[in-house]
Amino acid sequence: MSPPAFSASQPLYSVEQVAERLGLHVRTVRAYVREGRLKATRIGKQYRIAHADLEALTGAPVAPQSPGRTRHVDVTAVVDIDVIAPEAAMRVSNGLVAAANMHARTGQGRLRVDTSYDEVRARLKIVLTGDHGPVSAMLGFIGNYLDQQDQQP
């Protein structure tokens, strides 16, 4: 196994990361390293594969791996609507759930809708969680619905 050429700007991959990127089993990647088909260096008890060596194995450019974790900012909004009839609560709940399902199908952002109706207090509780755009849109939907209900005689 010849020593790979590492540079500070070149990403290093673990055997597990290479296996995942290439759709191979970890044992297969380790065998490639042992056989010399894939250059790697041993750091402690683990192998690390340079980006250039991964490209040499595949014979094609490999896009650098994005960081393992990406930041997600979730928004949670709790809306309590007092003095709402059961039928109106059902319409609001069904509309929100339908909109959340549409968001899920079209990939317009993460959105979760949970509703609960308290018949004794005539109160609808809505919990919206997800990306700020879809949550904001749902708050607008609720506001418009309530405005329309207030304008009806």
DSSP-H helix ranges across 2-152: 15-22, 26-35, 51-58, 86-106, 132-151
State residue 71's pLDDT score: 67
Averaged pLDDT, groups of 10, the chain, 153 residues long? 54 88 90 92 88 85 64 87 93 88 76 93 94 89 87 73
State residue 43's pLDDT score: 85
- Maximal CA-CA distance, the chain: 84
Task: Kindly give the pairing relationship between strand 46-50 and strand 12-14.
Answer: antiparallel
State residue 44's pLDDT score: 84
Please give the domain boundaries of the chain with CATH numbers for all domains.
1-68 (1.10.1660), 75-151 (3.30.70)
The helix/strand/coil state of 128 is strand
Cβ atoms of 78 and 125 closer than 8 Å:
yes
Is pTM, for the whole model, over 0.85?
A: no
